[in-house]
Amino acid sequence: MKNKTFLAIILLTPILVVVISSIYFSMGMSPDGTRNNGIFFKSYFDFNQFKNKDGDQDLIKFEDGKWILSVYVTDIDKSEESIYLMRQLNVALNRDINKLKRVIFYSNKLLEPQVSDIKNKYPRVKIIEDQNGVLLNVLQKNSKINFNIENPIFIIDPYGRAVMYFEPGSDPKLMLKDLKVLI
């Protein structure tokens, strides 16, 4: 008789847990928000929609299955901290370093000399010119901060979807924590 009672307890415990959690969830006692330290973009947008100036090639290719850390440079002085932080985050990922690549976007032709200096300073960064500034407009429309003034780090998944961005002044340790979860 003791074995039957013990067996019944073992079999009914998971059912009881599911029933109670479903009741709590239906009563509105669900988790609030997310635990992410970054901010999700307001709406979904795909990077495969952005083409080069001729309109025949994507701005960036996603065949390698890597996540992308990006900065859209509108002001060299404000973006230097974000670009440096991108490199530090990439190094801090340690064994996951090969699952990530760094990309800098810009659209202002006047920034080309400074952008080439960045390329010399950070040789593993890919630099892409957004000639029409369409990407900047989409980033601006889908975020809470002004991408023209701030130059935050944003993340693109391996399929070309913009995932989230980090506000300037975010704690790098918390950013690294998010990256480790994503990657």
Is 152 in contact with 71 (CB distance < 8 Å)? yes
Beta bridge partners of 72: 105
Task: Give percent of the chain above pLDDT 90.
Answer: 17
Question: How far apart (Å, rounded) are the C-alpha atoms in residues 118 and 127?
Answer: 9
pLDDT in tens, 77-86: 888 899 999 9
pTM for this prediction? 0.75
What dihedral do alpha carbons 111, 112, 118, 120 form, nearest 10°? -160
Determine the pLDDT at residue 28. Answer: 73
Determine the pLDDT at residue 18. Answer: 92
Determine the pLDDT at residue 55. Answer: 65
Determine the pLDDT at residue 70. Answer: 92
pLDDT in tens, 121-175: 988 899 888 877 888 889 999 998 888 888 899 999 998 888 899 988 888 888 8
Contacts of 108 (CB under 8 A, 6+ apart): 74
Question: How far apart (Å, rounded) are the C-alpha atoms in residues 115 and 33?
Answer: 38
Determine the pLDDT at residue 116. Answer: 87
* CATH superfamily for domain 39-182: Glutaredoxin (3.40.30.10)
Determine the pLDDT at residue 34. Answer: 55
Instruction: Indicate the domain borders of the chain.
Output: 1-32, 39-182
pLDDT in tens, 14-65: 999 999 988 887 887 766 655 678 888 888 788 877 776 666 667 777 888 8
Determine the pLDDT at residue 60. Answer: 79
**C-alpha pair distances (Å), 42 with each of 3, 7, 105:** 55, 50, 20
Where are any strands of DSSP class E within the chain? 39-40, 67-73, 100-106, 125-129, 153-156, 162-166
pLDDT in tens, 102-134: 999 998 888 888 988 988 898 889 988 887 788
The secondary structure of 85-137, three-state, reads: HHHHHHHHCHHHHHHEEEEEEECCHHHHHHHHHHHHHCCCEEEEECCCCHHHH
